[in-house]
Amino acid sequence: MASVRTCTTLSSKISNNLAWKKSIRVYRKHGVRHMSAASASGTFKASDLQIDFCPPENLKMKPAVKDLVFGRSFTDHMLKILYTDQSGWGQPRITPLQDLRLHPAAKVLHYSVELFEGMKAFRGVDDEIRLFRPNKNMERMNRTAARCSLPTFDGDELIALLKKMISVDQEWVPHTESSSLYIRPTLIGIEPTLGVQRPVEALLFVILSPVGPYFSSGFKPVSLLADPQYVRAWPGGMGMMKSGSNYGPTLEIQRYAEAKGLHQVLWLFGPEHRITEVGAMNIFIFLDKGNGEKELVTPPLDGLILPGVTRDSLLTLAREWGEFQVSERDITMTELVQASHDKKLLEMFGAGTAAVVTPVGSIHYQDQVINIPTMDHDQPLNQRFYNTITGIQYGRIASPWAMSIQ
Amino acid sequence: MASVRTCTTLSSKISNNLAWKKSIRVYRKHGVRHMSAASASGTFKASDLQIDFCPPENLKMKPAVKDLVFGRSFTDHMLKILYTDQSGWGQPRITPLQDLRLHPAAKVLHYSVELFEGMKAFRGVDDEIRLFRPNKNMERMNRTAARCSLPTFDGDELIALLKKMISVDQEWVPHTESSSLYIRPTLIGIEPTLGVQRPVEALLFVILSPVGPYFSSGFKPVSLLADPQYVRAWPGGMGMMKSGSNYGPTLEIQRYAEAKGLHQVLWLFGPEHRITEVGAMNIFIFLDKGNGEKELVTPPLDGLILPGVTRDSLLTLAREWGEFQVSERDITMTELVQASHDKKLLEMFGAGTAAVVTPVGSIHYQDQVINIPTMDHDQPLNQRFYNTITGIQYGRIASPWAMSIQ
């Protein structure tokens, strides 16, 4: 198996030098302006992209794949696009990765005027680099922006910019199927005023991070804390948006779960303890219906649930397969406990971009521990999903969901 | 009435120079080290404060009081205290106001790991500068920090630091009772990693902003949009915390209200449309009970309500006065509509640090407009509250709630 090159200072400098020259060649070939004079009227267009390459002597060493921890190391470049009410979107710029300079009154630091997306680029078995359904992320990012009083943008242009950006940092896309390049588009309100009002200035930026498996435990089933006293989202709120405000309030509950020796939080809602999400993933439950029928259940998009790209992909695959019932419906802890008691609870797993599919092994709920035989079957459904999704992502399975960056 | 001096470049430079020299004298007198060698083990202590004064030539012009818009201009200095899990709280530093340099992966920019407080310093009729119940803000800030997985701190030390900081920028405290110096302590998670986990690095900073009345309309009653489809907070959430995540989601609803020509949002909760808060203020309702009795109602601290310092102060004053019933209880739109219909709805007003007391003139609720005669009485209760609170703040009324910065 190939790997991101291990780092000695010398070999890294040489390889980074090569990568840098290759990047410039790629860019010249694709006709992108290198350090062009700033165009006076940038408009979020990939064709207006200005690239300020990281000097070769500043290129960073790439960590070994085995040392990758989710979201801890970043590539050499970033993308920035400024917005003001007065001028609209500015010219996209790729620059060396650098600190942002923000006025201490910037709204993002006080009122959580911020949102993000999570995407990945995969180096396929054919060495081609692919994105996975990036248009879904662009749609969600724009929906979230509109709800957060942040400016919307042309998603196709941002996809084109992401492709160019990944080309520049292409040597950072790991040479192994266990890893990928995580893409973090972020949109923040930066107007430096303290009124609780929509910002008139915003910054869209993208950073890239080579990542291994999200959970260092690998594909081992995780344990969940299901405590109905903590609520992630509610009707009339914005739990369906990928905004920062949905994440900050969860950190302490996650810490509380970890203090109990558990991996993640299963978020419940309402007096009937409806199951909504797990950690920062959507949740799937595979049930034996008793009459030879099986049912895959995930909670419906009722405003409490993040409309995950992986969620949508699993539902679409399951419906194409047509082998079992596929339901977007409410499911409560009472039903889950009963199904477990009746040995009808076959599998439970989280679905999300960071971890793809994460099997659940147990739920700690009130005074009970519900053990779930998620991985104890021949050919578990979650593994089949995982293999199919990653097969598409790494170019082993042809699919319109995979988009080459070329 | 004295005013913040109007600005011509020359007079401002001179006065700023004087202010700077005065600040240094104040600091020498109070024994604070000026640009001391960094103490190796800072511990959030005011006695460890290091001050890096803004050079006289960089001091800014002070805007005229009439031009003050809430939270738009800032003083010459800021306070910063860094925290890391490894070293704990570092040495407090006052520096010239400057941009923060944040890694683009800083958790505050992605997961709303952020909280703040709102306080004010007032220049009294005796020229003494006072804070108003700052210990209440410190208690709330620490409660919020604990809930947000951010580090807690010694509130008394931060008060001592605020006093020193305000002394440095004392010429920015307006010389008029219509204005004050708004104080914005802020605490953000700055660890540059993308895992959804508590940050191991944080930054507490404070900025100061001379402010006029919060609403440019002055003491005119505001109109409210009460639309039950938008929900600010939920049981099991953290509506009682002063975290950024409670504000971002409200901006678009505030914009929606403004598009309807209304000033603020009245946040309702539950099928019975319970009244919870207004904009970013607590809400008070003054009712005629019909038998010569009157009742002041504010919603209880049930987890949905921010425990406002002004809220607590009005309740305490009202109970001291003992002239009418004071209730922390649920109140629904049904009760409000009925009271209005029966001519029992005397006054309604918001209470908060930024605006002190804000009279409400009308509520737009479903298909109704409820007009409230808040300002149509002789000596309205809200004006009496306003006069009492500001009397304490500006040194006209002696009270243990006022704390001199000397």
Reply yes or no on whether the pLDDT at B8 is more than 80. no
Residue A99, pLDDT above cutoff 50: yes
How many residues can be counted in chain B? 406
CATH number at residue B42: 3.30.470.10
| Residue A43: pLDDT band with limits 50, 70, 90 | confident
How confident is the model at residue B46, as a pLDDT? 97
Tell me, yes or no, whether A186 and A242 share the same domain: no
**Domain extent for A339:** 222-395
Q: Judge whether B73 is closer than 8 Å to chain A, CB to CB.
A: no
In a domain, A406, yes or no: no
CATH of the domain at B289: 3.20.10.10
Under an 8 A CB cutoff, do B248 and A113 touch?
A: yes
Asked whether B222 and B358 are in contact (CB, 8 A), the reply is yes
Residue A279's Cβ-count burial label (10 Å; 0-12, 13-18, 19+) is buried
Is the CB of residue B196 less than 8 Å from the CB of residue B235?
no
Query: Chain B, 188-207: which have a CB under 8 Å from a chain A CB?
Result: 188, 193-198, 205, 207
**CB–CB contact A250 B196 (8 Å):** yes
B82-136 pLDDT, tens digit per residue, is 999 999 999 999 999 999 999 999 999 999 999 999 999 999 999 999 999 999 9
In tens, the pLDDT along A144-199 reads 999 999 999 999 999 999 999 999 999 999 999 889 999 999 999 999 999 999 99
Q: Does residue B183 share a domain with residue B268?
A: no
Same domain, B332 and B185: no
Chain B hits for A215, Cβ within 8 Å: none
Residue A405 located in a structural domain:
no
Mean pLDDT of the region B369-375: 97
CB contact under 8 A, B110 and A100: no
Residues B202 and B244 reside in one and the same domain: no
Q: CB distance from B108 to chain A under 8 Å?
A: yes
Average pLDDT of the segment spanning A301-324: 98
Q: Answer yes or no: is pLDDT of A122 > 50.
A: yes
Does the pLDDT of residue B152 top 80, yes or no? yes
The predicted pLDDT at position B209 comes to: 98
Q: Is residue A240 part of a domain?
A: yes
Nearest by CB to A147, from B148, B184, B252: name it: B252
Give the end of a domain, one of A183, A211, A239. Answer: A211
If pLDDT is split at 50, 70 and 90, which confidence band does A220 have?
confident
* Confidence band, pLDDT 50/70/90 cuts, at residue A34: very low
Average pLDDT value over all residues in chain B: 90
The reply to whether A33 touches chain B by the CB within 8 Å rule is no
> Could you say which of A190, A211, A232 is where a domain stops?
A211
B151/B54 same-domain check = yes
pLDDT at B354: 86
**The pLDDT of residue B5 is above 80:** no
Residue B38 pLDDT exceeds 80: no
In chain A, the residue whose alpha carbon lies closest to the alpha carbon of B230 is: A236
Q: Is B251 close to A101, i.e. CB distance below 8 A?
A: no
- Domain identity same for B306 and B200: no
Of B149, B252, B279, the CB nearest to A252: B149
Task: pLDDT band for B25, please (50, 70, 90 cuts).
Answer: very low
The reply to whether B240 and B95 lie within a common domain is no
- Is the residue at A99 inside a domain? yes
For residue A41, being part of any structural domain is answered with yes
Residue A30 has pLDDT above 60, yes or no: no
B271 near A CB under 8 A: no
- Asked if residue A251 and residue A227 are part of one domain, the reply reads yes
pLDDT-derived band at A37 (thresholds 50, 70, 90) equals very low
**pLDDT digit string, tens, across residues B175-216:** 998 899 999 999 999 999 999 999 999 999 999 999 987 655
Q: In the prediction, which pLDDT does B216 show?
A: 58
Whether residue B28 has pLDDT greater than 90: no
* pLDDT for B7 beyond 50: no
Among A180, A211, A242, the domain-final residue is A211
Do B73 and B103 fall into the same domain? yes
CB contact under 8 A, A71 and B279: no
pLDDT at B402 over 50: yes
Whether the per-residue pLDDT at B330 is higher than 60: the answer is yes
Identify the pLDDT of residue A218.
60
Q: Is residue A402 part of a domain?
A: no
Mark whether B116 and B257 lie in a shared domain: no
| A22 pLDDT higher than 80 | no
In a domain, A216, yes or no: no
Backbone angles phi, psi at B53, to 5 degrees: -65, 145
The answer to whether the CB atoms of A237 and B231 lie below 8 A apart is yes
Q: Is A310 an 8 Å CB contact of chain B?
A: no
User: What is the per-residue pLDDT across A102-120, written as a single tens digit (0 to 9) for each?
Assistant: 999 999 999 999 999 999 9
Indicate the number of domains in chain A: 2
What's the confidence (pLDDT) of residue A42? 56
Domain assignment present for residue B401? The answer is no
Q: Given pLDDT bands bounded at 50, 70 and 90, which one contains residue A217?
A: low
When the pLDDT of each residue in chain A is averaged and rounded to a whole number, the result is 90
> In this predicted model, what pLDDT tens digit does every residue of B335-367 receive, in sequence order?
999 999 999 999 999 999 988 999 999 999 999
Contacts of A147 in chain B (CB under 8 A): 249, 252
- Whether residue A378 sits in one domain with residue A356: yes
In this prediction, residue A337 has a pLDDT band, given cuts at 50, 70 and 90, of very high
Instruction: Assess whether pLDDT exceeds 80 at residue A26.
Output: no
Residue B316 has pLDDT above 60, yes or no: yes
Least confident of A6-15, A38-47, A265-274: A6-15
**Strand A264-269 to A274-278 pairing:** antiparallel
Query: Which residues of chain B lie closer than 8 angstroms to A264, CB-CB?
Result: none
Judge if A17 and A104 occupy the same domain.
yes
